[in-house]
Amino acid sequence: MENYLFTSESVSEGHPDKVCDRISDAIVDLYLSHDPTARVAVETLSTTNRVILAGEVRGPDTITPELLVETARSAVKDIGYEQDGFHWENMDVKCFIHAQSADIAQGVDATEDKDEGAGDQGIMFGYACTETEALMPAAIHYAHGILQSLSVARRSGDANILGPDAKSQVTLRYENGIPVGATAIVVSTQHVEGVSQADVRDLVYPHVRKALPEQWMCDDAFFYVNPTGRFVVGGPDGDTGLTGRKIIVDTYGGAAPHGGGAFSGKDPTKVDRSAAYAARYLAKNVVAAELAERCTIQLSYAIGVAKPLSVYVNTHGTGRVDESRLSALLQELVDLSPRGIRTHLGLNRPIYARTSSYGHFGRAPESDGGFSWERTDLVPDLRSGLV
């Protein structure tokens, strides 16, 4: 179809699942800050005034259960939870993190005659398109932008009637395959007791307008704010949270495939995370080089095997070069083994807590190596290599 409606959603850093993603990634950062070669696979569960940590790690003994609990509390404090049903200081935190399986380590570790293998089997996708300056699908890009703006206002005190938990949903109208405006927008945001639905709507409205391009705002009748009328109880007190339950929010909002694996709580030897970053990096560079208007890349791996089993490139009929040539050149430019990806993108650093909300993609590369997969430094080599 050339003319259609498409919808994506986002959730804030205070959403129960995102609280868990943040804690898990804060623990990844903790281990990598002590040892860049640490192995981490940590899951978090949250509910009313309770957090449970579980998973497998390989790292320095200086990281004690007490330090892990302290890290969880700090993450929740930074998000802003100081509520009766969920408070960073008095919540009950249980730690069940233990040593990594020797069987897994044996398959992944490098030896004299074997390069480091993938930490698991799996398929990973990357995507880029020309719908936004960030080369991201428009609906998820603007859904993130609405909540990021509200988060900044809440943290600064300009929106102190709001709580940390929020969701957004943006429906866009496409004409001839191009997004041209919003037809419906939903924002549900936690608020303090005694605030009316109209008050919340008036506060939210300018943030939505600011996040959207000029003239893209939907009709007022299709702008929904807290449709149930009340959202006081939120976060893990209102709903149980789990690490890795918002993978579509984390990636492309449903506009592109997702391989299935979550990112948060995993060190970069896990290709669920690092190879998905690499696939986005490759796809974004293809589009940035103006070799296609849309690009999907799939990578596949086997546990313990270094090189990808397949590198699939699809430019959806918008490509200006043969896709098989493009696949071959991308593999020449970037070593897509787990070690190669980590080296090329500099992933063995404590840069992951910041990825846990508002998407892992479409963010600006940062000076300390954060969001390195958003660089477009392959563009010159792609253009020259395909002449």
Rounded Cα–Cα distance for residues 135 and 132 (Å) = 5
Q: Is 246 annotated as a binding residue?
A: yes
Closest CA to 170 of 144, 189, 191: 144
Rounded Cα–Cα distance for residues 280 and 124 (Å) = 9
Q: Is 239 annotated as a binding residue?
A: yes
Would you call 118 helix, strand, or coil by DSSP?
A: strand
Q: Is 307 annotated as a binding residue?
A: no
Rounded Cα–Cα distance for residues 347 and 235 (Å) = 30
Rounded Cα–Cα distance for residues 249 and 254 (Å) = 8
Give the strand pairing for 178-191 and 223-225. parallel
Q: Is 113 annotated as a binding residue?
A: no
The continuous run of DSSP H or E covering 9 comes out as: strand 4-11
Q: Which residues contact 385 (CB under 8 A, 6 or more apart)?
A: 329, 332, 333
Rounded Cα–Cα distance for residues 74 and 63 (Å) = 15
Q: Is 15 annotated as a binding residue?
A: yes
Q: Where does residue 60 rank: exposed (0-12), middle (13-18), buried (19+ CB within 10 A)?
A: exposed
Q: Is 230 annotated as a binding residue?
A: yes
Q: Is 270 annotated as a binding residue?
A: yes
Q: Is 165 annotated as a binding residue?
A: yes
Mark the binding-site residues for Mg(2+), compressed into ranges: 17
Mark the binding-site residues, compressed into ranges: 15, 17, 43, 56, 100, 165-167, 230-231, 239, 245-246, 262, 266, 270
Mark the binding-site residues for ATP, compressed into ranges: 15, 165-167, 230-231, 239, 245-246, 262, 266
Mark the binding-site residues for L-methionine, compressed into ranges: 56, 100, 239, 270
Mark the binding-site residues for K(+), compressed into ranges: 43
